[in-house]
Structure 1
Amino acid sequence: MNQIPPFRRQRSYLSQFTTGQLHLKNPWIAAFFSFSYPGFGHIMLHRYMVGYILILWETFINEKAKVNLGILYTLIGEFEKAKDVLDQRWLILYLAMYMFGIWDSYRTTVDLNKQYVLADREDAPLLHMKMGTWDTNFLDKRKPVNALIWSALFPGLGHLYLHHVITGFFIFVYAVAITYLGHIPHAIHASMTGNFAHAKEIIDMQWALYFPSIYFFIIYDSYAYAIEHNKLCEKEMSKYLRQRYQSKDFIFPL
């Protein structure tokens, strides 16, 4: 039995819970998001397991080493406090993971771009729908602005709109945990009522400083992916029409 597939490279893969696809990306953007938060560069590349591992490792090591507090005190000029708060035992472990995330996301982006160019030339067939007992996933056009708005309201909702169920759920739960541990909702409520002194007292900056990186990455990723998802829909429809519809040069028999 011949086990060789009819095509060598895939451009996309549909499962019940997500859609993976190859498309051209800027390696510097992937490196930048890995610089801002380890794991996000890999999430952008759809390498979810590596991304989840790096995100959880970053959270654990950052909390132990108090990196966020060290950054905060350094930015406000309190260098002695920054030196005192950092735990040198954990900080060394943090550096290796941090540098790997930046390097690997850049390297992987370059390699995946090459794979995409070859896969696009090969023009392998694209699956339109995947149906299972848990969920149904299909290719259709989504509005990038809707993905942006839902992600801006709360991280993870934009990815659920794009049918990235596992990533959307992970980001949603992670963002809820960060906001809860950082007392961000309480601080926002106190600030809105004009009680700024109380807001400064209750907010935990070690946890709160995670949120800006999460927030802006999720907005960018959902918007950018919605655009690429729509391009994939167009490619699938184009291939279907080329295969199924009659050529305009067809000579009708008399």
Structure 2
Amino acid sequence: MSMPAKPRRTRANLNQFSIGQLHFRNPWVVAFFSFAYPGFGHLMQHRYAPAFILIGWELFINNMAQLNVGILYSMIGDFDMAKQVLSDKWLILYVGIYMLSIWDSYRTTVDLNKQYILADREDAEISGFVIGAWDINYMDKRKPWVAMMWSVLVPGLGHLYVHKVIIGFFIFGYTVLILNGANIPLAIKYSMLGDFMQAKAVIHMQWLMYLPSIYFFILYDAYISSIEYNILCEKELSRYLRQNYQHPHFELPV
């Protein structure tokens, strides 16, 4: 008697630290986040290795080229000052990998959407509970607005709420690095004391300019991840009920 064929694809993989899953993503949205901050598009896809490499490269090359300060001066119309602060030799190195990040995140999103269609048709079994030496993870429904509110309070906590532990701790540490580089804690201290001129003076604009892209991504990804995990939970429960409780001769509607 032949053994049942092993599924070629599965919709998700549950482990102690995260839930990696396939689901439909808008390629343009993923490409936009790669445009806003290289690596974030790959982070949305759970492709941690290229994401961390690209994010680290962005932090290094952007600081060397002083790109954020150049953008700031361009936004206020001081183009001569923007030209002076930009480092041409580092800026040239920035362009190629920046474009690769956008293109690759778009391309792989299109491919992963196709893989999701095939995986959804196979309807392979998904483990709904994992227990290990480090943590316990299980399928559960979570509230998207709660994930977003925790992310507003402290970046990374929303991802921990939806059990994206790897991304959560990375985002938390990375945001703390950016906040300290921009001297935001000192600026808050001086603002609370009413010394707004000193608060303005201590802020490092090169580092501060990272924050809008980071915060917008954190809020969006925590919210969407919660929604998609809820859908995955419903699919896993639906499959379990069909396999164990549905009558074998039940006629499915056309």
1:149 match: 149
TM-superposition CA deviations, 1:133-174 (whole Å, max 9, x none): 111111111111110000011111111111111111011000
1:69 match: 69
* Equivalence map 1:116-135=2 (5 Å): 116-135=116-135
Cα drift, residue 241 of structure 1: 0.3
- Please tell me the residue identity of whatever aligns with 2:21: Q
Question: Could you say what secondary structure the match of 1:20 adopts?
Answer: strand
Cα drift, residue 77 of structure 1: 1.2
Cα drift, residue 131 of structure 1: 1.1
1:176 match: 176
Distance 2:192 2:214 in 1: 23
1:27 match: 27
Distance 1:190 1:27 in 2: 43
More moved, 93-102 vs 2-11: 2-11
For structure 2, the residue ranges without an aligned partner over 5 or more in a row are none
Distance 1:246 1:8 in 2: 25
2:100 match: 100
Cα drift, residue 195 of structure 1: 2.8
Question: Could you say what secondary structure the match of 2:200 adopts?
Answer: helix
Distance 2:216 2:246 in 1: 47
1:87 match: 87
Distance 1:82 1:63 in 2: 14
- Please tell me the residue identity of whatever aligns with 1:106: Y
- Same amino acid, percent of matched pairs: 60
Pairing 1:110–2:102 present: no
- Give the aligned length: 249
Q: 1:4 to 1:206 in 2, by over 3 A?
A: farther
Question: Could you say what secondary structure the match of 1:13 adopts?
Answer: strand
More moved, 227-236 vs 154-163: 154-163
Cα drift, residue 185 of structure 1: 2.0
Distance 1:161 1:91 in 2: 38
1:40 match: 40
Cα drift, residue 249 of structure 1: 6.4
Distance 1:75 1:192 in 2: 28
Cα drift, residue 4 of structure 1: 9.4
Q: TM-score, normalised by structure 1?
A: 0.94
Distance 2:9 2:3 in 1: 15
Distance 2:228 2:20 in 1: 11
Question: Could you say what secondary structure the match of 2:13 adopts?
Answer: strand
Question: Could you say what secondary structure the match of 2:56 adopts?
Answer: helix
RMSD of the alignment, in Å?
Answer: 1.7
Cα drift, residue 8 of structure 1: 0.8
Question: Could you say what secondary structure the match of 1:137 adopts?
Answer: strand
2:52 match: 52
More moved, 188-197 vs 159-168: 188-197
2:188 match: 188
2:14 match: 14
Q: TM-score, normalised by structure 2?
A: 0.94
- Please tell me the residue identity of whatever aligns with 1:56: G
Distance 1:198 1:246 in 2: 69
Q: 1:136 to 1:5 in 2, by over 3 A?
A: farther
Question: Could you say what secondary structure the match of 1:101 adopts?
Answer: helix
